[in-house]
Chain A
Amino acid sequence: MTSTLRHARYVVGENPVTLLAFGLLIVMLLAALLGSSIAPYDPLATNTVRKLEPPSRAHWFGTDQLGRDILSRVLVATRLDLAIAVGAVSLSFLVGTAAGACAGFFGHWVDRIISRLTDTIMAFPLFVLAMAIVAALGNNIGNVVLATAIINLPFYARMARAEVNVRREAGYVEAARLSGNSALRALRCHVVPNALPPMMVQVSLNLGWAMLNAAGLSFIGLGVRPPTPEWGILVAEGASFILSGEWWIALFPGLALMLAVFCFNLLGDGLRDLIDPRRRT
């Protein structure tokens, strides 16, 4: 454990950007937890007297066309955006890992069916598939989570399959089988835990991507609906005011989204350096 810690310290020392990303993550988690209580205004309260005001001391991020405070809306939106991304990624991590591990471990027809399914998902441009799923199943947040989970599924399934496949014949797995463990138990307790570290890197890199996808969906009007504050919608609301020069409505939610995704990507890179220095790119 101490050697891992020392290695972690080394990685952070070598690449201070990872530390920055970690700081960002903490800020983001705080915003998600406390967002509604530290927001200076009610994110839904309109005040048409003070509409379309540029950033000022009273409204740090300015106000939108209905006089709503943008800082409050961006802050409050953090929880929803984070929840959608985390929900979708956990769902696809759990299902994808389970399916991929089974495919890699049992092979034969299990492998063939699961590989066929993931290939079918991958045959679509992924964002287009997500659009189609939300359009088909109904326009609500639950389906955005589901659609984002489905388009992320193949990455986990393929990775778990490959990782499990190389470990299937390993000595310690055979030892576990010979000492009377069932195949499933050997898979669950001996193979999967060893395949987890590279999967965690994928999770971190994937969180950012899931967030972009979900925000993209709400930007085009799928999933989250106004007036609920969500970064993609907030940018969409500001889009029409860009042409007349009211930049602050779209800029701040867009920046928040960008920083969040940037943070997850940096963390993923840092995590990869920690787990497998050779794969560093």
Chain B
Amino acid sequence: MRRGSLLRLVVKRLAAALPALFAVIVVTFLLMRAMPGDPAVYFAGLSATREAIEQVRQKLGLDRSLPEQFVLYLRDLARGDLGQSITTGQTVAYEIATRLPASLELTLFALVLALAVALPLGILAATRPGSWVDHLSRVLTTAGVSLPTFFTGLLLIYVFYYLLGWAPAPLGRLDSVWSPPPRISGLFTLDSLLAGDAALLGACLKQLVLPAVTMALFVMAPIARMTRASMLGALGSDFIRTARASGLTRGTVLYRYAFRNAMLPVVTTLGMVFSFMLGANVLVEKVFAWPGVGSYALDALVASDYAPVQGFVLTMASLYVLLNLVIDVLYGLIDPRVRIEA
């Protein structure tokens, strides 16, 4: 019974996510067709004749009407074909698939880091309103959302690389003296762990810490803020008073009664947090020369190479739609009422 209703929730949310995904595809398609520059000229090369350009235009389907082009585009998408990059000559799908793990590793690490700091901070601040923890969390959260990620990244590099020499040079995922672990998941930390190479894991973590902290600092603030607010709300409610009056221990009241209820709005804010993170990825990757999808898209953007940019925007948006789906399901796991409604 329980599992059945959860499955129904997943199916229902999936169906609701499909129109969003379609809208994302349409918007991306239209935006990229509006991009300045003629892709046919780029593909044909600088010295191409007018006829050669026309030929390329026909080959790419750019001579057809917009709706026809869209149908062609959908057909390519269905086959997993995101087009070809002009600058690197590789297919966009291949490049994104090889670079996505780097971005995901960074994002996941930063998220775990942010949650590990923000949740306890928010709970502490809520249980002791007006105390120094509360004030600290207030200052930290307001300062945290005011920090431009690219600037925090540079500051951290200056302090921990240039001044203290604790961090390695901010040039990618792994120092050039190391060779990457055998590819299983694409996440260097996980792969080196699977390969049982502790020294390599250390080297990967060293490179990962600064960019991850940079990103975590930025998203910690909304999580801590929301945790504090919703914990305060939960702690002030009648069922907590009843639980306390019934003589339950402080820990039980705080974690089993208040925390579980307070988690709902926090899980909802995670949607916004992911939106921030996927965007901040681009900036952090640029600062730390991190070879993820964001820096790939930026290089392509500079070269007016539109297929990679389109592939990047589409990948990010699909990922975001997917993450929102996960959040919805998570919400259903925490709150049984949502399952019953589904």
Chain A residues within CB distance 8 Å of chain B: 116, 119-120, 122-133, 135-138, 208-209, 212, 215-216, 219-222, 232, 235-236, 238-239, 242-243, 245, 247, 250-251, 254, 257-258, 261-262, 265-266, 269, 281
A51 and B321 CA atoms in complex are apart in Å by: 48
A127→B24 contact, CB < 8 A: no
Nearest B residue to A119, CB-CB: B20
B149 within 8 A of A: yes
For the complex formed, measure the closest distance between the CB of A143 and the CB atoms of chain B, giving whole angstroms: 11
A2 and B278 CA atoms in complex are apart in Å by: 47
Interchain residue pairs A-B with the least CB separation, the first 9? A127-B279, A125-B278, A254-B151, A262-B146, A281-B229, A136-B31, A120-B23, A261-B146, A123-B20
A97 and B301 CA atoms in complex are apart in Å by: 33
B216 within 8 A of A: no
Nearest A residue to B304, CB-CB: A135
A247 and B20 contact, Cβ closer than 8 Å, known pairs A124-B316, A128-B313: no
A131 and B142 contact, Cβ closer than 8 Å, known pairs A124-B316, A221-B302, A281-B225: no
Nearest A residue to B33, CB-CB: A136
A262 partner, pick from B27, B143, B283, B316, beta carbons under 8 A: B143
A126 and B275 CA atoms in complex are apart in Å by: 6
B145→A254 contact, CB < 8 A: no
A128 and B316 contact, Cβ closer than 8 Å, known pairs A120-B27, A258-B146, A261-B146: yes
A130 and B316 CA atoms in complex are apart in Å by: 13
Chain B binding site: helix, strand, loop or mixed by DSSP? helix
List residues 75-127 of chain B with CB under 8 A from any CB of chain A.
none
A135→B317 contact, CB < 8 A: no
Among B21, B280, B320, B321, max chain A CB count under 10 A is at B320
B147 within 8 A of A: yes
Report chain A residues within 8 Å CB of B316.
124-125, 128
B154→A235 contact, CB < 8 A: yes
A128→B282 contact, CB < 8 A: yes
B257 within 8 A of A: no
Nearest A residue to B153, CB-CB: A239
Instruction: Supply 24 A–B pairs (Cβ within 8 Å), ascending by A.
Output: A119-B20, A123-B321, A125-B276, A125-B320, A126-B275, A126-B279, A127-B283, A128-B316, A130-B279, A131-B282, A131-B301, A131-B313, A137-B34, A138-B36, A212-B148, A216-B148, A219-B283, A220-B283, A221-B301, A221-B302, A222-B301, A250-B151, A261-B146, A281-B229
A116 and B312 CA atoms in complex are apart in Å by: 23
For the complex formed, measure the closest distance between the CB of B220 and the CB atoms of chain A, giving whole angstroms: 15
Report chain A residues within 8 Å CB of B279.
125-128, 130, 216
A136→B154 contact, CB < 8 A: no
A203 and B154 CA atoms in complex are apart in Å by: 29
A247 and B286 contact, Cβ closer than 8 Å, known pairs A132-B31, A208-B146, A219-B150: no
Q: Could you say which interface size class chain B belongs to?
A: 35 or more
B35→A136 contact, CB < 8 A: yes
B212 within 8 A of A: no
B259 within 8 A of A: no
B154→A135 contact, CB < 8 A: no
A130 and B278 CA atoms in complex are apart in Å by: 12
- Which one of B3-11, B155-163, B175-183 is at the interface? B155-163
B28 within 8 A of A: yes
Report chain A residues within 8 Å CB of B157.
242-243
Nearest B residue to A209, CB-CB: B145
A87 and B284 CA atoms in complex are apart in Å by: 27
**A-facing mask of B221-248, CB < 8 A → 1, else 0?**
0000110110010000000000000000
For the complex formed, measure the closest distance between the CB of A71 and the CB atoms of chain B, giving whole angstroms: 18
B313→A132 contact, CB < 8 A: yes
B309 within 8 A of A: yes
Report chain B residues within 8 Å CB of A133.
31
A136 and B32 contact, Cβ closer than 8 Å, known pairs A127-B280, A128-B313: yes
B154 partner, pick from A123, A215, A239, beta carbons under 8 A: A239
For the complex formed, measure the closest distance between the CB of A255 and the CB atoms of chain B, giving whole angstroms: 8
List residues 172-219 of chain B with CB under 8 A from any CB of chain A.
none
A132→B309 contact, CB < 8 A: yes
Report chain A residues within 8 Å CB of B302.
221
Report chain B residues within 8 Å CB of A208.
145-146
Report chain B residues within 8 Å CB of A261.
145-148
A250 partner, pick from B27, B35, B154, B226, beta carbons under 8 A: B154
Report chain A residues within 8 Å CB of B145.
208-209, 261, 265
A281 partner, pick from B228, B286, B301, B313, beta carbons under 8 A: B228
For the complex formed, measure the closest distance between the CB of A149 and the CB atoms of chain B, giving whole angstroms: 16
